Chains A and B, each alone.
Chain A
Amino acid sequence: MSSFSILVGKLVRSASKLRGGGSALPGLVVEKIDPDFIRRTLADLPLGVAVVSGTNGKTTTTKMVVELLESQGLKVFTNRTGSNFTRGVAAALLGEVNLRGHLDADIAVLELDEAHAVHFVKLIQPRYSLLLNVLRDQLDRFGEIDKTTRLLESIARATTETVVLNREDPRVAGIADSLNGQRAVYFGLDASLRSTFPNDDEMRGSLAEALAATQEADVVLERVSETDADFLVDGQVRTTGLKLRGVYNIFNAAAALAFARTIKGKNLDSDALFEALANVEPAFGRGESLTVNGQPLELVLVKNPSGFRLGLKSFAAHGYSTMIAINDNYADGRDMSWLWDVDFESLAEGGVDVVSGVRAYDMALRLKYDDVPVRTIEPDITDGLKRFIKDSPGVPMRIFCTYTAMLAVRRELSKITKVEVVS
């Protein structure tokens, strides 16, 4: 039975690749004919299953964790395609298992959407979980961010050994109180950086109150610059150059370090760990740098007010052409009100060259109220992008975009330039 279902799954996988279809379909087929496939395949892994969840930064953090663990000589299975539902995991497994259903890996590191993770952990208890944050880009799915917290809480409670938590996010840190025997490990920020990462309760900038850190953190991000960062680990400050851009990614690097250190435990090769971190490239659409007409073009994914604020803070506005593309499709979130909690004043001097996407006019209106000049409003992303590139000769470009807007931008860019494709 199992060989049969794997064979069928692999066939569907090849067929859907030929057809250029979605990554989850073969997983769906296997789920139907062999519901125990995932559990059975992951059950034998020597280091078990490690889950990464939270509202933001899952993809990049998972990628970092995988590369950090590989630097320690571990063989890691992961769901790379970003299809982070159960059937996405099944589809990814199909590509890796042999026909007898054996997965040649030491550990599975899985990115799981918070709502789906709840079902997943009932099926397979993770040995380790990493919970990143509870930000409000999913309110139209979950209603309240307190509800999202409860979803993460159930992942933590299903974990068998260690839960790694963000000390600076009060909702995530509070999950420690609900644990039933699991060990809690924290990653955190130096006090000097806390105001740089406002959480949703501190959205009204001037009133941001830095929370006094009470828990000891395994990894603390001490300093961030555009090219490197300092992490405090084992009482020592390690300065590391980074290819990742954006301060949110670098805070997630602290999360990934703490997670990898937790999983590897003893016999950790710290030099190899930091060398691997320095070499991590951004994940699909997350702070990617491309080249168009001989000029660098950066894609910055923005999904919620904290992320957009950090995006604006991470990159100097000076010397760049700027485009903003805002869609309100289901995957972006339909509610546009979050744009009003982003402060756009840093763009006022240079202005914004093109505003695009389904909700281009909401965005333009937002910018107008912050006195930011907008040169072109073009809701159609293809036309907006063409205009943006044409109007930016000899100038580096940067595009802030929501998720589906990013997919559209990438699709158009791939006609003009080489864009990295994640298989």
Chain B
Amino acid sequence: MTEDRTIKILQLYPREMNIYGDWGNVLVLKQRLKWYGYQPVVEEYNAGDEFPADVDIIVGGGGQDSGQVVIQQDLQQLAPTLQGLAEDGLPMLVICGLYQLFGRFFKTHEGALIPGIGILDMETHGGDVRLIGNVLSVSEEFGEIHGYENHSGQTFLGPGVKPLAEIRKGEGNNTKDSTEGARYKNVVASYLHGSLLPKNPAIADFLIEKAAIRKFGSFSPVPRSEEDLAELSKLSEMARQHAGQRPR
């Protein structure tokens, strides 16, 4: 009998919440898992679907404000499931729109309250400026994080979560403090699309490692493609260096 090495990646709401390359994050996880000798399985969850069993990593992306409105009711129904998985240490990556909805609420600029699912102790307020541009931030856990932000919501973290990183260029969570993103258990949340994982493979590897440990008890890469991984790490580093020099 061959050893089970499958890891199931679930992309949340790809139809409404995939406006800017969020698929790239899924693809990066999928390919890196393959190169580490695991068998990635990618599934999608859209509003109204049955939530699949045995999920190992969850990825959620950004959408337009109108997309958030479309999914909000379905997301509320899903809330207990996602809360349970987050508490259980399931690795999750949520970007932009879904990052906002993983908090307590998103109060729009017009004053409407879109409830979140409260996995992250934070709240988001619609602002009158849109924060758009290249971002460079620094995280103790992951080093430099490069990406691109495009949001009007301003997020304020509560004591129950830590920021993902500190901003060096750009705005991040809001225009008041210099934090970017949020960290809780194995949940990584960020405003950076860009896409986040291609240029920040340390975060991809964190999610993969946590998923493997949660499922199999250990992370045991079988690097069948050392050459691929070496080339990849060189390309990521060069892409990061170039991105870091670009104007806001």
Question: Which residues of A are in contact with B by a Cβ distance under 8 Å?
Answer: 136, 139-140, 143-146, 200-201, 203-204, 207, 328, 334-341, 358-362, 364-366, 368-370, 377, 379
Assess whether B242 is in contact with A361, with CB atoms less than 8 Å apart: yes
* Chain B residues with CB below 8 A from A140, complex form: 132-133, 148, 150
* CA–CA, A335 and B243, complex, Å: 10
- Binary contact track B140-158/A, C-beta < 8 Å → 1, others 0: 0000000010101000000
Q: Is B178 an interface residue (CB 8 A)?
A: no
Assess whether A334 is in contact with B247, with CB atoms less than 8 Å apart: yes
Assess whether B31 is in contact with A369, with CB atoms less than 8 Å apart: yes
* CA–CA, A229 and B194, complex, Å: 37
* Chain B residues with CB below 8 A from A204, complex form: 14-15, 18, 23, 44
Min Cβ gap A133→B in Å is 16
Give B16's nearest chain A residue, CB to CB.
A201
14 A-B Cβ contacts within 8 A? Answer: A136-B19, A143-B132, A146-B64, A203-B18, A203-B23, A204-B18, A207-B15, A335-B194, A339-B24, A340-B195, A341-B24, A360-B242, A361-B239, A362-B198
* Chain A residues with CB below 8 A from B148, complex form: 140, 334-337
Q: Is B210 an interface residue (CB 8 A)?
A: no
Given contacts A140-B132, A200-B19, A341-B20, 19 further A-B contacts (CB under 8 A): A139-B19, A140-B150, A143-B132, A146-B66, A201-B15, A201-B16, A207-B14, A207-B46, A334-B134, A336-B148, A337-B20, A337-B148, A337-B194, A338-B21, A341-B18, A359-B242, A362-B239, A365-B232, A366-B198
Min Cβ gap A78→B in Å is 33
- Beyond A334-B148, A368-B231, whether A341 also contacts B236 by CB under 8 A is no
* CA–CA, A249 and B22, complex, Å: 28
* Chain B residues with CB below 8 A from A360, complex form: 242
* Chain B residues with CB below 8 A from A338, complex form: 20-21
Assess whether B235 is in contact with A368, with CB atoms less than 8 Å apart: yes
* Chain B residues with CB below 8 A from A144, complex form: 64-65
Assess whether B150 is in contact with A143, with CB atoms less than 8 Å apart: yes
Give the size of the chain B interface in residues (CB under 8 angstroms). Answer: 43
Total inter-chain residue pairs, C-beta < 8 Å: 111
Assess whether B152 is in contact with A143, with CB atoms less than 8 Å apart: yes
Min Cβ gap B246→A in Å is 6
Min Cβ gap B64→A in Å is 5
Assess whether A340 is in contact with B198, with CB atoms less than 8 Å apart: yes
- Beyond A340-B198, A369-B198, whether A139 also contacts B24 by CB under 8 A is no
Question: Which residues of B are in contact with A by a Cβ distance under 8 Å?
Answer: 14-16, 18-25, 27-28, 31, 44, 46, 64-66, 130, 132-134, 148, 150, 152, 193-195, 198-199, 228, 231-232, 235-236, 238-239, 241-243, 246-247
* CA–CA, A339 and B199, complex, Å: 13
* CA–CA, A296 and B25, complex, Å: 37
Assess whether A145 is in contact with B238, with CB atoms less than 8 Å apart: no
Residue from A145, A146, A200, A337 with most neighbouring chain B CB atoms (10 Å) = A337
* Chain A residues with CB below 8 A from B238, complex form: 361, 364, 377
Give A374's nearest chain B residue, CB to CB.
B235
* Chain B residues with CB below 8 A from A207, complex form: 14-15, 44, 46
Give B27's nearest chain A residue, CB to CB.
A369
* CA–CA, A105 and B226, complex, Å: 67
Residue from B21, B25, B44 with most neighbouring chain A CB atoms (10 Å) = B21
Assess whether A334 is in contact with B14, with CB atoms less than 8 Å apart: no
* CA–CA, A203 and B44, complex, Å: 13
Min Cβ gap A355→B in Å is 10
- Beyond A136-B20, A336-B148, A340-B198, whether A143 also contacts B15 by CB under 8 A is no
Min Cβ gap B196→A in Å is 9
Assess whether B246 is in contact with A337, with CB atoms less than 8 Å apart: no
* Chain A residues with CB below 8 A from B21, complex form: 337-341
Give B151's nearest chain A residue, CB to CB.
A143
* Chain B residues with CB below 8 A from A334, complex form: 133-134, 148, 246-247
